[in-house]
Structure 1
Amino acid sequence: MENLNELKSQRSLRILNAIERIGNRLPDPMMLFLSLAVMVILASVIAAHFGATVVYPASGKLLHIRSLLSDEGVVFILTHMLKNFTGFAPLGLVLGMMLGVGVAEQVGLLEALVKRTILNAPAWLITAAVAFSGIMMNIASDAAMIVLPPLAAMVFLSVGRHPIAGLMCGFASAGAGFTANLIIAGTDALLSGISTEAAKAVDPTMVVTPVDNWYFNIISVFMLTLISVWVTVKIVEPRLGHYKGEHMPDQTPLSDLEKRGLRNAGITAFVYLAGLVTWIMWPNSPLTNAHGGLIPSPFLKGIIPLILCFFIAVGIAYGKTIGVITSAKDVAKQMSTSIQGMSSYIVLIFFAAQFIAYFNWSHLGTWIAVHGADYLKSVHMTGLGILIGYIILTSLLNFLIVSGSAKWALEAPVFIPLFMQLGYSPAFVQVAYRIADSSTNIITPLNPYFVVILSFMKRYDKAAGIGTMISLLMPYTICFLAAWVVLFCLFFFTGLPIGPGVYPMLAH
């Protein structure tokens, strides 16, 4: 039996090593989009040469595939290159969000808030506090993957539980959090912008807003918290057993100054939100629509600037209290630092924007979507099963392309128009993508934070390796994905809104 287990372990490691080798052979995301843009150019030339056509769904007009190397195509490439970049919807949304979140992150507010939430929880609530904090902390984007897991390990150890169990719970929850939050986060802005650009291939008036997945995300928070607790307590901790290591991390609770900072930040948050609610409820408020409602309304359209100002306000309140911010120059410095970390994203978006623009201008996206939808209809693959198949496909692609935004930028121009032809809302297709991406991003060794968490694990168990980490995280992945698919189907069959005024099907 031991030899059989050892053989299975070696086979698993060979598979993981093969995946890693294949992933390492992929070009940098920037070069990947550049290569795809070249492929679109060549495909447009070939399709135009053979006279490929498609009927535009919105108007019924016959469209010809346009060659990007024709006179008209070359002019488009040269004259629209900068416009494609600066007009790309996710760029302004994400950078704007980072200006605000960056202030709160750089001054230490987010880390202090997570620490206060976890360290003050009773022992029996530790797991739930870790899971909930990890899920909610995606407002800090990738910072959640680094800040929370080691802190969770320390807290577990302090109450006599295995630190690696806390590490895994924190990492799994932070990874899943990109598709779950009680508030609108940067991920919502990023993905909805890409979805909007892709949906315009079918309907130029279609807009996917950052709140279009909100209801689904809210339910996911509580569902994932319960699942994280169950997996940690029932599967991960029993397998790890009692911790016998000697490593005892330093416990650094919040200082009185940091506590005052959190108090002042909390007061600022309350005043800000109270003022916002008052403004919304004020008679003839400019934030509501003509009927005094919020769906649709300027409030929903302008929610990103409102969130931006919220994080700047609470970040300044905390920073001034602890002495990190003493003048307006310090605020500008914190913003600059946060934007510096987005440099690789800006470069990536430049090439992604060209690829999507070429795809749409040539009409290749519309051609693939319409003919692909016609084929699926001809083989009677128009139901929920095809979306579930798409979820499985995307979850597997995580082993080759880790970046969630890069993967969605690749998939959205093809799958959103295709599924729109079958009657599905682009926001619902976006949900399918998000649950697939968030389920498996924690178990791919190509995840840049995978190695970081593995190094933390080795502090508590020097013999731990990739196989150990994969085997501990796999239960979270399987349970998250299974539960999400069930929730996804529930929304589909009941027709419940996935966001304010947004439903799974277009014709609601």
Structure 2
Amino acid sequence: MNEANEEKRNGILGKIERVGNKLPDPFFIFVILAAAVMVLSMIFSFTGATVDHPGTGETLEIRSLISFEGLAYMLSSMLDNFTGFAPLGLVLGIMLGIGVAEKTGLLSTAIKKSILKAPKSVVTYAIIVVGITGNLASDAAFVIIPPLAAMVFYTIGRHPLAGLSAGFAGTGAGFTANLIIAGTDATLAGITTEAAAMIDDTIVVTPVDNYYFMLTSVLFIAIAGGLITDKIIEPRLGTYKDETEGDRQLEEVTDIETKGLRNAVIAGVVFLAVLAGLVFFPGSTLRNEEGGLVPSPFLGNIVPIVLLFFITIGVVYGRTAGTIEKMDDIPRFMAEAMKDMAGYIVLIFAAAQFIAYFNWSNLGTWLAVNSADFFTSIDMTGLPLILGFSVLAALLNMIIFSGSAQWALMAPVFIPMFMLLDYHPAFIQAAFRIADSSTNIITPLNPYIMLVLAVMKDYDKKSGLGTLISLMLPYSIAFFAIWLVLLTIFFVFGIPFGPGVGVSLEG
């Protein structure tokens, strides 16, 4: 990695990396922010600052955390802040199911099968779509899909770095699009709900609130990713000359894995059929009192439904393929999935305290009201403000790679402010997601860049970070531009972003 390290020390990428590397771990960022809220709450309380709550009209005083009352609150609420933090249960719950599907090998087999069976003329687009849907496996997709895509291209006589680029772009830059609800949707929805409670604690943002936008995105991102790979990236790379003299061979899906995948698909279809019957049965308790679906117990409980779906198909695959030999293997796979979430759980403990302090002190409400008044006074409340917010999120992603950590920082400030300007929090969440996703593949702080670089150097020893960034920039710029246009179209024509979710709070 000497060459890659040399590249990183030079130019704007090197500066970004040095700044980012000087930042503490996200856990300590939230600790520092919580301390800052404590100090600011004391200063604002001392000056007698107040704010009129936009929902109730009640005049709120800024409460100091550095006081006997504040100290009592921080000690008594610490555990409740953590265990009651909305994203925690949502994410851990959904990852129990997805973890079973991943650990049994179902997701890996499905990925390989979909790419290997794709006609050569559409293999690039298949890789992009597989990369996009691969975020079901969360960060594991970064480990599985780019190397596999490179091997597919190598096997069919195309440049492996073009395949690697397509796989990394689909997985990283296409992270926020998907055909199926994933853990990311639960994570961000929970954080958004917590932030929205500063203004209206009755608003609940669910994991499906961005689904229509996310589903539509798959088509445009897949087409753009395929065209960029075939028309820009691969021609630029030229003909590949294998200097390794290795005998690379793509591992075929075995007959037993194919059978397991087939049975899992059948089980999934049966599960969905039963679910559809329960939802559309006359007088179903999964529908609301008027018989509709928006809102309804069905949408409100989508996480446990997704959890059961993935457990079902994961167990069926595992029993067929032999990766589940006894029933005790199921909780073991769940436990392994939870081990992978350990870093997230630790981060959430600190993030939950910061957001709770921000709410209790009333600083969040004060900042939201005054920010909204400022933007209203300068007549900047429409689409330019939304697009500017997306650009800001994209820039911040260059130094804060974790999307959940970045959103936990931004949501408490921007969600209440935009709500006061009559924007739905789920719409603002979508504006954040497209920015965060688009720049995932060009930030040097992406920990999986080193993995991708290692695979690159296996095919081309002269490649380095500069090579990777130059390959990824076209995807990043194109995806972000497409998403901004798509966001604008949804905004202008009032297209719902999810079931019952429009641009404004009024629907």
Q: Is 1:36–2:33 an aligned residue pair?
A: yes
**1:249-280 deviations in Å (ceiling 9; x for gaps):** 22211111111111111111111111111111
The Cα shift of 1:232 comes to 0.4
Distance 2:272 2:10 in 1: 51
Question: Which residue pairs with 1:404 in the alignment?
Answer: 403
Question: Which residue pairs with 1:180 in the alignment?
Answer: 177
Question: Which residue pairs with 2:393 in the alignment?
Answer: 394
Q: How does 1:69-218 map to 2 (within 5 A)?
A: 69-218=66-215
Question: Which residue pairs with 1:452 in the alignment?
Answer: 451
Distance 1:11 1:115 in 2: 33
Question: Which residue pairs with 2:319 in the alignment?
Answer: 320
Q: Which piece of structure 1 moves more, 481-490 or 168-177?
A: 168-177
Matched residue of 1:328: which SS?
A: coil
Q: Which amino acid aligns with 1:463?
A: K
Q: Given the superposition, is the C-alpha separation of residues 245 and 300 from structure 1 closer, same or farther in structure 2, using an over 3 Å criterion?
A: same
Q: Which amino acid aligns with 2:436?
A: D
Distance 1:209 1:302 in 2: 9
Question: Which residue pairs with 2:379 in the alignment?
Answer: 380
C-alpha contact 1:165 1:240 (8 A) present in aligned 2: yes
Question: Which residue pairs with 2:304 in the alignment?
Answer: 305
Q: Which amino acid aligns with 2:158?
A: R
Distance 1:47 1:415 in 2: 20
Distance 2:71 2:46 in 1: 16
Distance 2:427 2:8 in 1: 38
Q: Is 1:45–2:42 an aligned residue pair?
A: yes
Matched residue of 1:66: which SS?
A: coil
**1:8-46 deviations in Å (ceiling 9; x for gaps):** x98993221111111111000111110100000001000
Q: How does 1:194-343 map to 2 (within 5 A)?
A: 194-247=191-244, 248-343=247-342
Question: Which residue pairs with 1:420 in the alignment?
Answer: 419
Distance 2:435 2:17 in 1: 20
C-alpha contact 1:135 1:221 (8 A) present in aligned 2: yes
Question: Which residue pairs with 1:6 in the alignment?
Answer: none
C-alpha contact 2:96 2:338 (8 A) present in aligned 1: yes
Distance 2:250 2:467 in 1: 26
Matched residue of 1:370: which SS?
A: helix
Question: Which residue pairs with 1:486 in the alignment?
Answer: 485
Distance 1:24 1:11 in 2: 12
Alignment coverage as a number of residue pairs? 500
C-alpha contact 1:13 1:467 (8 A) present in aligned 2: no
Matched residue of 2:60: which SS?
A: strand
Question: Which residue pairs with 1:371 in the alignment?
Answer: 370
Question: Which residue pairs with 1:5 in the alignment?
Answer: none
C-alpha contact 1:137 1:177 (8 A) present in aligned 2: no
Distance 1:11 1:280 in 2: 54
Distance 2:134 2:329 in 1: 24
**1:136-188 deviations in Å (ceiling 9; x for gaps):** 11111111111011111111111111000010111111113321112211111
C-alpha contact 1:19 1:399 (8 A) present in aligned 2: yes
Question: Which residue pairs with 1:16 in the alignment?
Answer: 13
Distance 1:216 1:175 in 2: 18
The Cα shift of 1:327 comes to 2.0
C-alpha contact 2:7 2:466 (8 A) present in aligned 1: no
Matched residue of 1:178: which SS?
A: coil
Distance 2:365 2:395 in 1: 26
Q: Which amino acid aligns with 1:289?
A: N
C-alpha contact 1:29 1:406 (8 A) present in aligned 2: yes
Q: Which amino acid aligns with 2:467?
A: T
Q: Which amino acid aligns with 2:443?
A: T
The Cα shift of 1:73 comes to 1.0
> Is there any run of 5+ residues in structure 1 with no aligned partner, and where?
1-8
C-alpha contact 1:44 1:65 (8 A) present in aligned 2: yes
Q: Which amino acid aligns with 1:376?
A: F
Distance 1:366 1:31 in 2: 24
Matched residue of 2:328: which SS?
A: helix
Distance 2:453 2:9 in 1: 17
